[in-house]
Amino acid sequence: RLSASDDAAMMSVLCVDKTGTLTTNRLSVSDFFAIGDFVKNDVILYGALSSNEANQDPIDISFINTAKELQVTSGYVQKKFTPFNPSTRRTEAVLEKNGRSFIASKGAVSIITSLCKIKSNDLEFVQTKINEFSQKGYRTLAIATTDGDNSEMKLVGVAALYDKPREDSPRLISDLKDLGISTKMLTGDSLP
């Protein structure tokens, strides 16, 4: 529109999307930890098993790539995959290995932990670590699995994802500030 330049000249606050605007939209798994009897690599294993490369979802791809680097996913067959849905806030896959079926899921920490039976001290540890990850600007996801088709979910652990800022983002924000424009980042990563 012709009036867009007039509107921009009167702008005092610019609200921008984070993913792909201020960041590169190339997520990577930066840190992760296991809970209970699970080991650290289980977090990546079950995170990758509850992912699907065909979706080209950046979160799924980050888990799949990390699993390939660690070489942890051989021998598993994904029988069914349910992609991320904003209403459930998680992905889920039905898997099989050596004739044993089980489920793996990953998603919002609050959703996944609500599906699992967790000791209170483990839940406190998870919350402390999530706060640490949040201070570093990481996005966190919880990963869970079952022992079989109908058994209850067990929390495997939590992974921290990082989306590197674009190289030109700091200069753009600085230039906008010099023009008297305040930049606000809009993100869905914070608690509802």
Residues annotated as part of the active site? 17
Q: How many other C-beta atoms are found inside a 10 Å radius of the C-beta of residue 91?
A: 24
AA identity, residue 67 = A
Please, are residues 169 and 22 in contact by the beta-carbon 8 Å criterion? Answer: yes
Report residue 30 as tokens.
């930066």
Structure tokens at 161: 């994802």
Which two tokens mark 184?
């606000």
Q: Give CA–CA dist 55/78, Å, rounded.
A: 14
For residue 133, give the 3-state DSSP assignment.
helix
Residue 117 forms beta bridges with which residues?
Answer: none
Tokens of 135: 């201070």
